[in-house]
Structure formats: structure tokens, C-alpha cells
């Protein structure tokens, strides 16, 4: 395992460069399997664990199933001092009787000061900890004044409940304005941004604010000065929920287009040539980029985790990376997806 430092100009700590996503722990992934995955992750040197306060609500859970399971595991294993915990608030149900949606009306709770304060304390209680290392706003809330949201996260950091705050599913200009607002208020700014990101990417579209962009990476690379505190990028769905390797998994979120098919063909060719799996190459591509990101890798079995761990120290040769980064030459007809 390798490590990197994340921080916000006031607080900093090291995390493993692979983060373990735990979305379905306690529901689709049963308790014994979840514990085995967590155990193996820590045994392998993993230290960064990611969850949220609304996971599993759409598959029969109550929303905090993952937080509760992690809390049970921490208490049973006694490893709190060996891991850094990240959770998210703001996207749980505002009205329990209505479903969640990614399009308006979303039914998200939002990032008002009362919600942020209350749900952060609830997350700490469910996790069984007195400090949350990283707390993200799960989805940017444009209906709440940015100053209110920024102040709420700043207060939690001043209180000592939260180490570093972050934001997810957000436009870059909102990240920049929020960080400037934090400096105006004299509170710690967001130190992390979590967006969707993988080797395949969506077509540009006005209003798509959940994906890592070149401008976000460029901005993150410019940080780390007194005037512009550090900002790290974490990536959810780095393996596109299995679609990089499985033909039965759809390309979703605007990624279904000929360029993706051509890139997948290159990914599979490279993997065969260097003796790795396509998933490992895709993760190594993220980890070794000029502006590296921290992939949040979900696993539903120890075998899936083992595959991901194989990417932690996989260094791609410059010529291999250049090949992966090259713009594909598309034939007149759409390129077919590669066989698994």
C-alpha cells in the first residue's frame, strides 16, 4: 500500500491511496463478508474507509446500515487508531415517505446548518467515534446560502468533531467560491472533493456536475499554498460499477458512446500485455496520473478487494500511460465493446 497526505491548511493526515467504499455493507453485503473485507483491507495497509448516512436506503436498509456496521467492526476489532473514516451528510431523505431522486424533486435533506450539525453528530454516534476524519456534503445544495453551509462545516471543524470537510457532486465554480467563503469567515475550507471518475468519461453536457473534469484536476494541482490551501480529489465508481470488464453491465451516466468503447478496447489490450487485469490498470491509471486521485473502491467480496489491492503499487510505464491517454481513432462504424 502507498499513502498520501490530505489536508485543508490547518489539519492534515495520511491516508492510503486506495479508499475502501462500503455502500452496501450491512445489506447486500452481509455482516461476515463485510467484516472479512474490512479486516483484509486493514491487513493490507489500507487506512481510508468511506461511507455515508443514506447508503442502503434504496435496497431495504434504513440509510445508516453501513455506518452501523463499521461502528460494530471498529468496536470489535479495536482498530480505530489505524483508520481514517469518511462519511457524508445532506442526501438522506427529507421526507421519509418519499423516494430519493437524482433529479428534482430530489428529496435530499440539503446542507442547511441545522441538518449538517445534526446529521454529523448522528453519524459519529452510529460509527461509535468521537471524531469523523472526513465529512463531505454528499450533494451540493444550491437552495441554501453557500455561507451557511460553509459556516456549518467550519463550526464542526472548530468543535473538533470533524477533521477535514469536503464536498461531492458539485460544480468547480462552487468549490472555488466555497473555499473563498471559508477564508472570508476564518474557518477551514473544504480539503477534499469527491466526484465520479473512471477511465471512461461522459460526453460534455451542461448541468453535469458530478464528474471529475480537467479543470478540477488543474485547480487541485494549483493548491497547497498559504493563499490556496490543499485540495485533494477522491473518485467514486472508479471501475464504473463493473462495466469496465463485464459486458452485462451498462455504461451509464453519459458514458455510452464510441470513444468509451475504443478506450475499453485499449484498456483490455494493455492489461493482457502487462499481465494485469483491466480493473487494475484502470486504478493504476488514476493513481499514477500527473494529478493523482484517490479511488474509492467498492468491494462485495474479499476476492474483489484483492484485485483492487493489486493496483496499489502497479506503476504504468510512460509509454503505456501515453497509449492509454491517447485520443482513440474511431472507425466510421461505432466500435464494439471488448469481450470480457
What is the torsion angle, in degrees rounded to the nearest 10, for the CA atoms of residue 28, residue 32, residue 38 and residue 42? -160
Give the residues across from 205 on adjacent strands. none
CA distances (Å), origin 17, targets 4, 24, 67:
6, 21, 21
Which position has the grid cell 451542461? 206
DSSP string, 103-141: SSS--B----HHHHHHHHHHHHHHHT-S-EEEEEESS--
> Do residues 163 and 11 make contact, with C-beta atoms less than 8 angstroms apart?
yes
Place of cell 464504473: 240
Please name the residue that has the C-alpha cell 510505464.
Answer: 317
Q: Looking at residue 302, what is its pLDDT?
A: 98
Q: CA separation (Å) from 235 to 17, 204, 293?
A: 11, 18, 7
pLDDT at 339: 64
Are 256 and 332 in contact, with CB atoms under 8 Å apart?
Answer: no
In order of 73, 309, 310, 313, the CA distances from 37 in angstroms are 11, 12, 15, 19
CA distance 85 to 67: 10
Q: Rounded to an integer, what distance in angstroms lies between the CA atom of residue 289 and that of residue 305?
A: 22
Three-class SS of residue 95?
A: coil
Q: What angle is formed at CA 23 by the lines to CA 338 and CA 93, rounded to 5 degrees?
A: 120
**What string of pLDDT tens digits covers the 340 residues of the chain?**
999 999 999 999 999 999 999 999 999 999 999 999 999 999 999 999 999 999 877 667 777 999 999 999 999 999 999 999 999 999 999 998 888 888 888 999 999 999 999 999 999 999 999 999 999 999 999 999 999 999 999 999 999 999 999 999 999 999 999 999 999 999 999 999 999 999 999 988 898 999 999 999 999 999 999 889 999 999 999 999 999 999 889 999 999 999 999 999 999 999 999 999 999 999 999 999 999 999 999 999 999 999 999 999 999 999 999 999 998 877 765 556 666 6
The three-class DSSP label of residue 263 is helix
Closest CA to 138 of 212, 71, 206, 195: 195
Q: What is the 3-state secondary structure (H, E, C) of 199-224?
A: CCCCCCCCCCCCECCHHHHHHHHCCC
Separation CA 170–CA 154 (nearest Å): 18
pTM of the entire structure? 0.94
pLDDT of the residue at 35 = 98
- Quote the pLDDT of residue 336: 60
- For the segment 72-103, what is each residue's pLDDT rounded down to a tens digit? 999 999 999 999 999 999 999 999 888 888 88
pLDDT of residue 332: 65
Sequence-distant (6+) residues with CB within 8 A of 275 are: none
Residue 190: DSSP 8-state? P
Residue with cell string 493548491: 223
pLDDT of residue 279: 98
Distance CA 132, CA 84 (A): 8
Amino acid at each position: 500500500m502507498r499513502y498520501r497526505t490530505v489536508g485543508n491548511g490547518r489539519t492534515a493526515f495520511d491516508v492510503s491511496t486506495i479508499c475502501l467504499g462500503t455502500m452496501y455493507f450491512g445489506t447486500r453485503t452481509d455482516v461476515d463478508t463485510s467484516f472479512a473485507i474490512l479486516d483484509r483491507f486493514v491487513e493490507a495497509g489500507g487506512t481510508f474507509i468511506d461511507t455515508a448516512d443514506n447508503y442502503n436506503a434504496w435496497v431495504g436498509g434504513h440509510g445508516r446500515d453501513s455506518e452501523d456496521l463499521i461502528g460494530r467492526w471498529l468496536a470489535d476489532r479495536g482498530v480505530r487508531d489505524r483508520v481514517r473514516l469518511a462519511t457524508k451528510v445532506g442526501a438522506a431523505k427529507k421526507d421519509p415517505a418519499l423516494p430519493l431522486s437524482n433529479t428534482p424533486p430530489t428529496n435530499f435533506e440539503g446542507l442547511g446548518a441545522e441538518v449538517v450539525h445534526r446529521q454529523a453528530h448522528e453519524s459519529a454516534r452510529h460509527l461509535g467515534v468521537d471524531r469523523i476524519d472526513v465529512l463531505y456534503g454528499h450533494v451540493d445544495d444550491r437552495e441554501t446560502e453557500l455561507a451557511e453551509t460553509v459556516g456549518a462545516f467550519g463550526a464542526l471543524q472548530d468543535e473538533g468533531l470533524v477533521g477535514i470537510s469536503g464536498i461531492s457532486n458539485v460544480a468547480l465554480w462552487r468549490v472555488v467560491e466555497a473555499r473563498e467563503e471559508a477564508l472570508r469567515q476564518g474557518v477551514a475550507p473544504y480539503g477534499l472533493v469527491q466526484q465520479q471518475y473512471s477511465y471512461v468519461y461522459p460526453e460534455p453536457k451542461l448541468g453535469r456536475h458530478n464528474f471529475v473534469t480537467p479543470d478540477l484536476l488543474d485547480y487541485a494541482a494549483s493548491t497547497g499554498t498559504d493563499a490556496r490551501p490543499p485540495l485533494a480529489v477522491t473518485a467514486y465508481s472508479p471501475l464504473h460499477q463493473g462495466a469496465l470488464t463485464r459486458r452485462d453491465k451498462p455504461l451509464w451516466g453519459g458514458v455510452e458512446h464510441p470513444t468509451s468503447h475504443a478506450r475499453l478496447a485499449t484498456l483490455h489490450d494493455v492489461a493482457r500485455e502487462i499481465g494485469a487485469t483491466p480493473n487494475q490498470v484502470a486504478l493504476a491509471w488514476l493513481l499514477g496520473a500527473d494529478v493523482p486521485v484517490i479511488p474509492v473502491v467498492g468491494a462485495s467480496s474479499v476476492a474483489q478487494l484483492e484485485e483492487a489491492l493489486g493496483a496499489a503499487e502497479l506503476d504504468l510505464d510512460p509509454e503505456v500511460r501515453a497509449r492509454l491517454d491517447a485520443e482513440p481513432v474511431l472507425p466510421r462504424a461505432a466500435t464494439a465493446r471488448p469481450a470480457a
